[in-house]
Structure 1
Amino acid sequence: MQKEEKITDNLNHDNYRFMVTNPIEAILIHDFEGNIVDVNQITSEITGYSKDELLQMKIFDMDLNLKTKYHEEIWSELKQEKPLSIDYGQLNHRDGKIVEIVTNNCLLKDDDQDLIFSAIFDISHHVQMGNLLKESDAKYKSLFELNPDYTVFINPEGQILDVNNVALKIWVTTWSILKD
C-alpha cells in the first residue's frame, strides 16, 4: 500500500511540475504573506528577474496593484475559495518599465499551507496597440474634421460612410439624416 501511495504522490508532483512549467502564460505561486514560492520561466521573461531572484521576493515588490489595492480583501475571498474574476494590473519589470497584465487567481491547497496560484498574461503589446490606434484615430478625426475641403468617404456600393462638416454645410444637412 505504501508503494501505491508513493506513486500517487510522485504523479501529483509530476502533474504539478508539468502544470507550472508548460503553460504559455506566466505562473506565479505565493503564500498569503506575499512570499513567492514558485514561478515558471515565462514569469522570469515578463518580469526580467531570474527564478532564484523571484523566489527571494515578495509579490508586493513588483505587483503595482497590490501596493495600491486593499489586497487583504481580495485574498480573504480566495481563502473562502471564491475564484477571482480576471483582474487587470501592472507589474514592475526589473528595468523599471511597466508590464500590463491580466491575472486569474485561485486558491491552491497544499498539505502544509494554502497558496495563491496566479496565471498571468502579459497584455502590454495589446495595450500599446490600443493606445496607438486611439492616437491614430484622433489624428485621422482631426485631419478629417478640420479639412477645409469637401470630403466624403463612400464604399464601393455607393453607400456614404462618413462626411466632414464642410460637406454637410454644402449639402445643408446633418450626419444623422445622411446615414439613415
Structure 2
Amino acid sequence: MEYRHSVDPNALEIVWNHANEALFIFDYEGNILEANPAFAELFGGKPEDLRISVCCEDSEECEELLDMLKRGEDIPFHFIQRKRKDGKILDILASYGAVNKGKVLAVGMYKDFTGKMEIHRKLKSSHDGYRKLLDEFPYAVLMIKDETVIYANRAGLEIVGASSKEVLIGKPIWQLIRPEEEQSIRQRLMKGMEVTVHEEIERFDGRKLWVEIAMRRVCYENEYVLQMVLRDVTEKRNYEEQLKFFAYQDPLTGLFNRRYFTKEMKKSVEEARKNNRMFGVMFIDLDDFKKVNDSLGHEMGDQLLIQFADRLKKKLREGDIICRFGGDEFLVLIKNIRGKKALVEVVNRLQDALRRPYQLGEESVVVTSSIGIAMFPHDGTDAKTLLSCADQALYEAKEQGEGFRFFRSRD
C-alpha cells in the first residue's frame, strides 16, 4: 500500500492551508492551477488575479525547466525573482517536485528570500570596493548575462588575450565550452550546483591554452548572473601529458612501450570479437644485434634501434600499434586484416625496408630481422595467448633462418 493511502486527507488539507511557504501545482505549460493561502499572502492576491506563471521571461530557461520536470527530475533550490501585485520584486527560493499525473506537471514551493537577499546585496553592493576586490583577484573572473560577458577583471582580460575590456565585453561566452557539454552544464547550473570543467580555449591572439573553468550563479549588482572563474592549467596539463608519455612510451625510440601495447591488445581483442574481425600480432627481433653493440659500442646500438623503429613507423599504417617490447625486440599490432595474405604483404614490405643498410656514424651496417606472427582468432582469443604464439613463431623463424614465420599449432 502506498504511503499516501495511509495519510488522512484532512491532515494534508491542514498542511496545505497552514504552511508558511507558498505551495502550488502547475500544468505542462507552467500555468499555476491551484495555490495555498500562503501563496496569495506572498503575492498579494490569488494566482488567477496575478497572472503569475512558473516561467520567467527567459523562454529558453523556462523550456529547460519544464523539460526536466517532464523527465521526472526534481529541481531543488532554484533562485528566481517574481513581482507582487503591488509591483514589488521578490527574491524567491523555488523548489519543484515532478508529478506528471493528469493535468499536473509538478508541485512547487516558493520561499521568500527578499529580506535575506537585501542584506546580502547591501553587504556586496559597495560596488567600487567589490569591483576593486575582483580586479585585484589573482584568478580570471568573468560575469555573464544573457549569454554575453558583462564584466571581466584584469586577470580575465589577460587569460583570453584581450587588449581591453571593450574587446571582451558583449562577446558570447559559450564558445569557450565544448558544445557536447553545454546542455549538461546548463542543467546543473539551474539546480544551483557549481560546475567545474577543463577546456582548451583559443585566445584573441590565436594562442591556445587549457583552463579550468568554475561556474555558478551569483548575485552581481542586484541581479543573478553566471560567474566564471578561469585558471590557466596549461603547464599542469603538459606535465600530466609528459607523465602519460613516460608511462606509455619508450624514451629511446618514441614508440609505445609494453604496458600500452598490452592495454591496446586487450581492447583490440574485445573490438574484434564484437565486430567479427581479424587482426595480426608480429613479434620482431633484430638478428645479431649483440654483435653491433660489441663492435661499435652501445651508443651506435641505440642509434640502430632508433633508425629501425623509424623504418617500422614509416612502413605501417597510422592505426597500427608499434611497441618496443624491450632490448632489440618489437611488437606490431596490425588491425582489421582480411586474412593471412594481407599479413604476408605487410611482412614483405617491412623486411624490404629493414634489410637496407643503416648508417651508424662512419659505418654502414646491414642487419636482418626475424618475425613471428600470430592471428586472431585463429591462434588465440586473448592477448596473452596471442603474444605467446607470436613469440613461439619468432623462435622458430630464428631457428630455421626463415625471416618470418606464422604460428603453427602442434595439435
Q: TM-score range by the shorter chain?
A: 0.5 to 0.7
Give me the TM-score of the superposition, normalised by structure 2.
Answer: 0.30
Tell me which residue corresponds to 2:130.
Answer: 16
1:131 aligns with 2:241: yes
Alignment of 1:60-71 (within 5 A): 60-61=174-175, 63-65=176-178, 68-71=179-182
Superposed CA deviations along residues 52-107 of structure 1, whole A, max 9, x for unmatched, are 1110311034x042xx23424422322332222x3111221112232201111111
Distance 1:107 1:11, change over 3 A: closer
Number of residue equivalences: 144
Higher relative contact order (CA 8 A, sep 6+): 1
Structure 1 residue 141: Cα displacement: 6.4
Alignment of 1:1-180 (within 5 A): 8=122, 12-31=126-145, 33-49=146-162, 50-61=164-175, 63-65=176-178, 68-84=179-195, 86-110=196-220, 113-135=223-245, 138-140=249-251, 142=253, 165=326
CA contact (8 A) 1:64 1:92 kept: no
Secondary structure of 2:200's partner?
strand
Structure 1 residue 10: Cα displacement: 7.9
Distance 1:131 1:111, change over 3 A: closer
The amino acid that maps onto 2:155 is: I
**In structure 2, C-alpha distance between the alignment counterparts of 1:34 and 1:10, rounded to whole Å:** 23
Which runs of 5 or more structure 1 residues have no equivalent in the other structure? 150-163, 167-180
Distance 1:9 1:132, change over 3 A: closer
Distance 1:64 1:97, change over 3 A: farther
Secondary structure of 1:52's partner?
helix
Distance 1:165 1:78, change over 3 A: closer
Distance 1:127 1:76, change over 3 A: same
Higher strand fraction: Structure 1 or Structure 2?
Answer: 2
**In structure 1, C-alpha distance between the alignment counterparts of 2:130 and 2:153, rounded to whole Å:** 12
CA contact (8 A) 1:103 1:120 kept: yes
Percentage identity across aligned positions? 15
Secondary structure of 1:87's partner?
strand
CA contact (8 A) 2:124 2:130 kept: no
Distance 1:124 1:30, change over 3 A: same
Structure 1 residue 117: Cα displacement: 0.8
Structure 1 residue 122: Cα displacement: 0.7
**In structure 1, C-alpha distance between the alignment counterparts of 2:150 and 2:215, rounded to whole Å:** 15
**In structure 2, C-alpha distance between the alignment counterparts of 1:11 and 1:57, rounded to whole Å:** 25
**Larger gyration radius, structure 1 or structure 2:** 2
Structure 1 residue 121: Cα displacement: 0.4
Secondary structure of 1:69's partner?
helix
**In structure 1, C-alpha distance between the alignment counterparts of 2:221 and 2:158, rounded to whole Å:** 29
Root-mean-square deviation (CA, aligned residues, Å) is: 3.5
Structure 1 residue 47: Cα displacement: 1.0
**In structure 2, C-alpha distance between the alignment counterparts of 1:80 and 1:133, rounded to whole Å:** 37
**In structure 2, C-alpha distance between the alignment counterparts of 1:100 and 1:115, rounded to whole Å:** 24
**In structure 2, C-alpha distance between the alignment counterparts of 1:119 and 1:128, rounded to whole Å:** 21
**In structure 1, C-alpha distance between the alignment counterparts of 2:205 and 2:231, rounded to whole Å:** 19
**In structure 2, C-alpha distance between the alignment counterparts of 1:118 and 1:48, rounded to whole Å:** 16
**In structure 2, C-alpha distance between the alignment counterparts of 1:165 and 1:69, rounded to whole Å:** 41
Structure 1 residue 46: Cα displacement: 1.4
